[in-house]
Amino acid sequence: MRTRKIFVYSIIFFIIFNMFPNRALSQDEDKSFQKPNIDARCAVAVDSNSKILLYEKNAYELVPMASTTKVMTTLVALKYGKLDKKIKISSKAAGVKGSTAGYKSGEEITLRELLYGLMLRSGNDAAVAIAEEIGGSIEGFAKLMNEYAGEIGILNTHFETPHGLDREEHYSTAYDLAVATSVAKKNPIFSEIVSSRDVDGKEKGFTRSYHNINKILWEIPDANGVKTGYTGKAGKCLITSAPIQGNDVIIVVLNCPKRWKETGRIYEYVDKNYNFKKLFSKGDIAAELKVNKKDLKLKYENDVIIPTKKECKYVTKIIKPKKINYTVNKGERIGMICIYEDGKIIYKNSLIASDTVKVRRFLDWTF
């Protein structure tokens, strides 16, 4: 009798369990939307265009960043250097420690090729050669790096070397590295270099061919860069750029033992949790104001595309002066757009004047 009851209960349980397969599936799907606990000291995901944080763990902690330093090295080289100029490899460059591209003392390599050796092979020899040519020395080049970092709004970073080998005063944050990368990605030469998987030396007119050691280009579909890094103090580091819904997202993991896997988890989290929405187009009228009783329209300077989450509330505010009593030139920045997520500001950008409106003072008429 007892055996029969157990049998009947088993059949009932089996029927009930199989009546609700979709519910069980939806619960599993919900778990995939949760913020992942990433095994890294620091990590961020940032929308390259708006600079909005999509994921963060210790985003602003000051830490060593190893060869991810070379993003800034490349930015400075592109700003001050001449790509087709040949640079002679010094004995100091050829003898540097750590990863190298294999350049020999006395070789003459164009700056363009050195940048491929720098970013694809993480060549410390390329970094020293570039620094000596453009900055006169490693110290002189580091000064240029710090100056340029300030120009692009990187305030919690300090460079001592062009290659990123451990130094006490050589540090950055995950967020700063993401911002530097977003600036660099706007340069088509930088983007071409870091997205290259293999480079045929003969086709490029280089002294040798280069294979990219950045495995993320094969791990994430459509990934287009950017840079690996490793030292004893910094641990394993990685900066990745990959499009999500047509928008580049920069992912940074620092001191991350499983950097390929953890970067993939952050990528999946952003892809499943965010929808990129175009709120306004470049040139759309955002507001109007009076300039000495004359009408002036304010336009959006750029497309406003925002990554949004379903459960969050977004509010847009236009900040502008009530009136202006001075001449305004076309394209001049006046006022701004601010976007809030659940009451916290996440985005702001300038508005620009659509036309020139001149204001003539009494003294102007008198003269």
Neighbours of 2 (CB within 10 A): 6
Catalytic residue among 70, 227, 236, 299: 70
Neighbours of 308 (CB within 10 A): 18
- Look up residue 169 and give its two tokens: 């005063």
Q: What secondary structure does DSSP assign to 25-58, as a single string?
A: HHHHHHHHTSPP--SSSEEEEEETTT--EEEEES
**DSSP E strands: which ranges in 181-234?**
198-199, 210-211, 226-231
Catalytic residue among 122, 182, 241, 354: 122
**DSSP E strands: which ranges in the chain?**
42-47, 53-57, 86-88, 108-110, 198-199, 210-211, 226-231, 235-244, 247-254, 275-280, 285-291, 294-300, 304-308, 314-319, 323-324, 333-341, 344-353
Cα separation, 243 vs 49, whole angstroms: 11
122 is catalytic: yes
299 is catalytic: no
Which is nearest to 55 in space by CA: 251, 234, 241? Answer: 251
Catalytic residue among 67, 172, 196, 241: 67
Query: Who's near 163: CB < 8 A, 6+ residues apart?
Result: 67, 69, 70, 73, 96, 98, 124, 127, 128
Q: In Å, how far from its chain's centre is CA 172?
A: 14
- Look up residue 350 and give its two tokens: 């300038």
- Look up residue 18 and give its two tokens: 């199989």
281 is catalytic: no
Task: Answer whether the bond into residue 63 is a cis peptide, omega within 30°.
Answer: no
**Residues annotated catalytic, as ranges:** 67, 70, 122
